[in-house]
Amino acid sequence: MAEVKLKYKGPILVILIIIAVAALIFLPERHLYMEIAEVNSPAPDFELSDSNGKIWKLSDLRGKVVFINFWATWCTTCKGEMPYKEALYEKMKDKPFQMFGVLFRDDPANLVSYFKKHKVSFPTLISPGNEMARLYGITGVPETFIIDKEGIIREKLVGPRDWGNEETMAMIEKWL
């Protein structure tokens, strides 16, 4: 009987090693797409430059409500909501409010031609390797986060919005 147990010991050990290696390889990648930034949790800090080269750091914006919208120049719905975001920016620019676009899975060079055709007054952040998207758990666009004055995520909105309607304005203004 002891001979039979030893006979299967090698293959069982190999199978266990394969399972352990697979877990080490695949679990971290899966974790990249888990929702890390959750409502009512502290927003992940970032330090990124915008399309003009200015450096922005979330932790430096305490005391302001921060609007972060992930978008791309190839995204039809993102382009459709851009005029509403521009109007929101103009309406809120004199309040303790900071608005950002974050380029998602797009070439920053595309911004030059996009900005020539479309008015975008608020900063667009460039995140090398889409690191910020991973921090915030973004897998598609548009997706928007509203962060309160203490750096806590208060709203996570998936999909396009009319950023000028009364309901949306009330949702943003309650955090001012």
CATH no. for residue 108? 3.40.30.10
Same domain, 88 and 3: no
Return the percentage of the chain with pLDDT > 70, whole number. 88
Q: Which residue in 142, 130, 137 sits closest to 37, CA to CA? A: 137
Residues 87 and 26 in one domain: no
Flag whether the pTM goes above 0.95. Answer: no
Amino acid occupying residue 70: F
Q: How many domains does the chain have?
A: 2
**Coil, strand, or helix at residue 78?**
helix
Tens of pLDDT along 69-97?
999 999 999 999 999 999 999 999 999 99
Range of the structural domain that residue 19 is part of: 1-32
Does residue 59 share a domain with residue 9? no
Q: Which one is predicted more confidently, 176 or 9?
A: 176
Tally of CB atoms within 10 A around 109: 9
Neighbours of 113 (CB within 10 A): 10
- Residue 103 pLDDT more than 50? yes
- Does 54 have pLDDT greater than 50? yes
Please indicate, yes or no, whether residues 79 and 107 belong to a single structural domain of this protein: yes
Whether residue 157 is found in the same domain as residue 71: yes
pLDDT band at 108 (very low <50, low <70, confident <90, very high): very high
- Tens digits of residue pLDDT in 136-172: 999 899 999 999 999 999 999 999 999 988 999 999 9
Residue 94 phi/psi, 5-degree rounding, is -100, 10
Residue from 162, 62, 79 nearest 113 by CA:
79
Amino acid in the structure at residue 82 = M
**Residue 50 tokens, joined:** 């915008």
Q: Which of 69, 85, 86 is nearest to 127 (CA)?
A: 69
* pLDDT at position 34: 46
- What is the reported pLDDT for 32? 46
Residues 167 and 105 reside in one and the same domain: yes
The answer on 150 and 90 residing in a single domain is yes
Measured at the CA of 115, the angle between CA 114 and CA 119, to 5 degrees, comes to: 120
Token output for 79: 């382009």
Confidence of residue 33 (pLDDT cuts 50, 70, 90): very low
Q: What is the pLDDT of residue 8?
A: 66
Q: Which amino acid is at 13?
A: L
